[in-house]
Each structure stands twice: as structure tokens, then as C-alpha cells.
């Protein structure tokens, strides 16, 4: 591919994941990622601060969650709006076409403490974005925080189940998990 071809960010992400899976995260350099993507090393650094960031997806997921909460029907309560956010994530980020990429990414992250730590920080950013979006809808602080945390727990559990077995519908898993968490919270 020519260096000026479009989709540089996506090409770098795919090249990085391929190399991380094949030779390991620690043994992969930024130069190798750029070369595999057919781009200059400087192009990598225009898109990412370091190689840890190439797997983070930026703030795409946080925006997707917040936008879906904002677009939820006005009568939807905090947990229903959070459920709408999970459905949006399932429809756009965790599709059958993306299954293998997501599964590989999860394996790379799980195998590297540095990436696992980064994943926890990302989760906190997702919680903040989701909580802020719920508060903007008028949810009081405790309800917004609780709905966001339950939604992210449902997301994490559904993601683990979805990546463990191909062919499942992520949205159905996530919404079922959210319903189970709601029932468990009500039983408290």
C-alpha cells in the first residue's frame, strides 16, 4: 500500500494487533507496526502516543455510549438509557464481523499486565462518560453512577461470554446480563 492511502489509523491498529498476536506485545516495536501497515513511523506517532494506545480505541467507545444515552427515549430511566447504550455498542462495536478482532485484542490485553492496567483506566473513563451522559439526562448522582456501573459490569461480563464462544449476539448477552444485575440489585 502507498504511504498516502486512507485509513492509516485503522491500518496501524490492524497491523499492531496482528503483530502482537503473532510475536507478542513486548517483542513488537512501533517501527514494525508502521512497516507492516505500509506507513512511516512518524505516521504512527501522529495517531498514537505509544504502542499501548494502539489497542485502546481512543474515546470511540465512550462517545458511542454517551451518544446512545442522549438518544434514548425521553421517558427512559437511567438503567433503560444505559441499556440503550449497551445495545448501541453491540450494534456498532461488537458485531459478528468484528468478533475475531475483538477476541484477539482481549487475549493480547489479558496476557500483558501493562495493557491490563491501561484497560482499567479506560474502564474508569467509560464510567465517567456514561455517568456524565446520564446526569445530563437529569438522573440524580447516585442513580447515574449506579446505572453506569451496572451497565459496565454487564458489558464486561457479556464481552467475556461473547469472546469465549463465537456466534452469540453481544447485544442480547449484554441486555440479559443487565437485567440479571438489575434483579440482583433489587433483591438486595
Q: What is the pLDDT of residues 155-187, one digit of tens each?
A: 999 999 999 988 999 999 999 999 999 999 999
* Segments making up each domain of the chain, as ranges: 8-54, 56-187
Q: Provide the CATH number for the domain formed by 8-54 in this structure.
A: 1.10.10.60
CA-CA distance, 75 to 188, in Å (whole number)? 26
Q: In this structure, how many other beta carbons lie within 10 angstroms of the beta carbon of residue 109?
A: 20
Which pTM does this prediction carry?
A: 0.87
| 56-187: CATH topology | Tetracycline Repressor; domain 2 (1.10.357)
Alpha helices in the chain (DSSP H): 8-23, 30-37, 41-47, 60-71, 78-92, 99-110, 113-136, 141-164, 170-187
User: Each residue of 5-28: pLDDT tens digit?
Assistant: 678 999 999 999 999 999 999 999
User: Each residue of 19-58: pLDDT tens digit?
Assistant: 999 999 999 999 999 999 999 999 999 999 999 889 887 6
Phi and psi torsions of 39, nearest 5°:
-130, 165
- 68 Cα distance to chain centroid: 14
Amino acid at each position: 500500500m502507498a504511504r498516502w492511502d486512507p485509513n492509516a489509523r485503522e491500518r496501524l491498529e490492524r497491523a499492531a494487533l496482528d503483530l502482537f498476536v503473532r510475536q507478542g506485545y513486548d517483542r513488537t516495536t512501533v517501527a514494525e507496526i508502521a512497516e507492516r501497515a505500509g506507513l512511516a513511523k512518524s505516521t504512527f506517532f501522529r495517531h498514537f502516543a505509544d504502542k499501548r494506545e494502539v489497542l485502546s480505541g481512543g474515546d470511540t467507545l465512550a462517545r458511542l455510549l454517551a451518544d446512545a444515552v442522549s438518544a434514548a427515549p425521553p421517558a427512559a430511566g437511567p438503567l433503560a438509557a444505559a441499556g440503550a447504550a449497551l445495545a448501541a455498542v453491540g450494534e456498532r462495536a461488537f458485531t459478528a464481523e468484528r468478533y475475531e478482532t475483538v477476541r484477539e485484542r482481549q487475549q493480547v490485553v489479558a496476557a500483558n499486565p501493562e495493557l491490563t492496567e491501561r484497560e482499567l483506566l479506560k474502564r474508569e473513563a467509560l464510567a465517567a462518560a456514561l455517568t456524565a451522559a446520564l446526569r445530563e439526562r437529569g438522573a440524580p448522582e447516585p442513580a447515574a453512577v449506579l446505572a453506569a456501573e451496572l451497565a459496565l459490569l454487564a458489558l464486561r461480563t457479556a464481552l467475556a461470554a461473547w469472546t469465549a464462544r463465537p456466534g452469540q449476539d453481544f447485544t442480547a448477552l449484554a441486555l440479559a446480563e443487565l437485567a440479571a444485575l438489575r434483579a440482583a440489585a433489587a433483591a438486595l
